[in-house]
Amino acid sequence: MSIEERQREYCRLFRELSDPDSQLDQLFSLGVAPPEKGLRRPENRLAGCRTAIWFTSWKKGEKVFFRLFSESLLVNGVCAIYRELYQGETGADIQKNPPRFLEEISDRVIYPDVKRGGLWTCYKQLAAQ
Amino acid sequence: MTLVSPVRKDFPILCSPEGEKDLVFLDSAATTQKPEAVIRRISDYYRYENTNIHRGSYPLSLRTEEYFEKARRTVRQWLGAPRAEEILFTKSATESLNLLAHSVLSAWAGPGDNVVVTELEHASNYYPYREQCRVRGLEFRVIPAHTDGTLDLTAAKALIDGRTKLVSVTAMSNVTGFSPELPPLIQLAHGKGALVSVDASQAVAHHRINVEELGCDFLSFSGHKLYGPMGCGVLYGKAGLLERMPAFLWGGDMLERGTDGSVICRDAPGRFEAGTPNLEAILGLAAAIEYLDEKNFPILLAYERELSEQLLEGLKAVPGLCLHGPEGLSPIVTFSMEGYGAYDVGTFLGAAGVSVRCGAHCAYPLMERMGLESSCRVSLGIYNDSHDLDLLTERLKELGRRGYVHRGKAAGILPPVSGTL
């Protein structure tokens, strides 16, 4: 499946989970993961106060790879979706597919400043690779 | 025992159909809700009294000026300050503290001197001094906290010396509610010739403060943390000190013509109140103080103490909840939930109408000392009751139950089905 097709599935999923509580549950389920070893270093921390996100990325040929972790399960849930959408894709394909699924997640679940802040910063860095 | 607030009905946002439905507001340390008396005072000002002060020569302006000075006297009385001229109005405690950092150090500090703050401080009582020390070439010293959020007073003795010009300390941590013992710290500082500033932003709503008894040289707080409106801060300063301090903000209303016709700064408090004051907020703050006096503030504080006890008991009964900070009762409590980030807890609570704060609380040195990336903070107000606390703890228990389910699933373990072994 392409990034676009995978993302469409997530958009549909969050649209169907219309109430915040269900969306919370979904992201909690996705977000349970052991912390990424060695990622939690100051140089990998993205700026922001509401929740901490650690991020690093690199390229192998044309493909972009990254490690991403948050101390928040909910944001980790979004990170899991990012991995499913963007891990091992090209920068050009990532650029064509911004994380529109975030718009289907209630602002009461992932706050606007988290969407526009750390999560958007991660995406921009991936797209710029 | 079910505790019912004696004043909840006075707060429209918590009671009226137009207010936020089912709001459980447990973030009073960020800002307090406002009683009808304060809201009415502000709207009455704009409906019937609006004019500027110190400018007009007509009755409306003169009357508003009287209300303004009466508000100053109201705050003076609240703080137990000897003179009304010792009460300055600013926009916020942050502005008060920046004023102090600038004007105190301008008046008294020079090369080789130092300023001492503590690791307990909110950013507004830490960074203004750090920045002023950097700009002026002064040494910036920090009394460390212990990992439980209390203050290391032994270290204070080593850090406050004959070159210390100012010690600035909080009366109550906005993270843990811990109140350092101020009298010995003030005595120590004065013994070395240092001035003492107290940040009472949190303490002012939870203790009755008397600046003369306390013996501090300066004290500041924000009106919106004392059930008053946003946009008004207070700075108390001993008259003899304010007279020697230069202005912080320059412009209209803080200047006058001298005897030789030149333009000079006014005396305190006018020197420090440049521009048009936030009159409605100042009058609103006075209304808040009058409201608290009318409702008998000591009784409200006693009620709040009982509620704090219930809060602590309730939180201790939540599986997977970890309290941070020193032992003891406090209307401000910080905690985390096993398996969840602070943001998760806040969002989950918020989805059920329970409002708490989550994050670093603008207290980065203290959070680092306590080994916390972020935490959740519950802070009480006089309008909270047992029902609020029950909803909080129930929702936290529900979060804990879901966490088990999710962690179990991730590990491939399914939770036991009820009724079976």
Q: Considering only alpha carbons, which residue of chain A is nearest residue B410?
A: A32
Identify the residue among B20, B337, B347 best suited for mutation to test binding to A, counting A beta carbons within 10 A and taking the highest: B347
Q: Measured between CB atoms, which of A24, A71, A72 is closest to B351?
A: A24
- On whether any CB of chain A is under 8 Å from the CB of B250, the answer is no
Q: Measured between CB atoms, which of B347, B359, B360 is closest to A74?
A: B347
- On whether any CB of chain B is under 8 Å from the CB of A78, the answer is no
Chain centroid offset of residue A29 CA? 14
pLDDT, tens digit, 9 for 90 and up, residues A18-44:
789 899 999 998 988 777 778 888 888
pLDDT, tens digit, 9 for 90 and up, residues B198-217:
999 999 999 999 999 999 99
pLDDT, tens digit, 9 for 90 and up, residues B15-52:
877 666 679 999 999 999 999 999 999 999 999 999 98
- Tell if the CB–CB gap between B347 and A73 is shorter than 8 Å: no
Contacts of B94-98 spanning 24+ positions with Cβ under 8 A: B94/B124, B94/B128, B94/B222, B94/B233, B95/B233, B96/B220, B96/B221, B96/B233, B96/B234, B96/B235, B97/B124, B97/B125, B97/B128, B97/B168, B97/B197, B97/B199, B97/B220, B98/B124, B98/B128, B98/B248
Predicted pLDDT of residue B19: 64
- Around B17, how many Cα atoms within 13 Å sit in the side-chain half-sphere? 0
What is the rounded distance in angstroms from the CA atom of residue B138 to the CA atom of residue B165? 10
- On whether any CB of chain A is under 8 Å from the CB of B358, the answer is yes
Crossing angle, helix A3-16 and helix A73-86, to 10 degrees?
150
pLDDT, tens digit, 9 for 90 and up, residues B54-111:
877 888 889 999 999 999 999 999 999 999 999 999 999 999 999 999 999 999 999 9
Rounded to the nearest angstrom, the minimum Cα separation between B343 and chain A is 6
Q: Which residues contact A109 (CB under 8 A, 6 or more apart)?
A: A20, A23, A24, A27, A74, B347, B351
Residue type, B102: H
Q: Which residues of B are catalytic?
A: 362
Between CA B130 and CA B133, with CA B132 as vertex, the angle to 5 degrees is 65
- On whether any CB of chain A is under 8 Å from the CB of B407, the answer is yes
DSSP assignments along B404-417, one per residue: HHHHHHHTT-PPPP
Q: Is the pTM of this model over 0.90?
A: yes
User: Which residues in chain A have Cβ-Cβ distances shorter than 8 Å to B351?
Assistant: 20-21, 24, 108-109
Please, is A60 exposed, middle or buried when counting C-beta atoms within 10 Å of its C-beta (0-12, 13-18, 19+)?
exposed
Residue listed under structure tokens 């993270």? B175
- Tell if the CB–CB gap between A73 and B373 is shorter than 8 Å: no
Predicted pLDDT of residue B420: 33
- Tell if the CB–CB gap between A25 and B358 is shorter than 8 Å: no
User: Which residues in chain B have Cβ-Cβ distances shorter than 8 Å to A73?
Assistant: 339-341, 344, 406
pLDDT, tens digit, 9 for 90 and up, residues B311-357:
999 999 999 999 999 989 999 999 999 889 999 999 999 999 999 99
Q: Which residues contact B25 (CB under 8 A, 6 or more apart)?
A: B13, B14, B33, B355, B381, B383, B384, B388
Predicted pLDDT of residue A42: 85
In A4-23, the residues whose Cβ lies within 8 Å of chain B are 20-21
CB B237 within 8 A of CB B206: no
What is the rounded distance in angstroms from the CA atom of residue B72 to the CA atom of residue B87? 6
- Around A66, how many Cα atoms within 13 Å sit in the side-chain half-sphere? 30
The rounded percent of chain A whose pLDDT value lies above 70 is 98
Least confident of A102-111, B253-262, B389-398: B253-262
- Tell if the CB–CB gap between A72 and B341 is shorter than 8 Å: yes
User: Which residues in chain A have Cβ-Cβ distances shorter than 8 Å to B358?
Assistant: 50
Residue listed under structure tokens 């305190």? B268
Burial B186-215 (b: 16+ CB within 10 A, else e): bebbbebebbbbbbbbbbbbbeebebeebe
Q: Measured between CB atoms, which of B351, B360, B409 is closest to A49?
A: B360
What is the rounded distance in angstroms from the CA atom of residue B38 to the CA atom of residue B33? 10
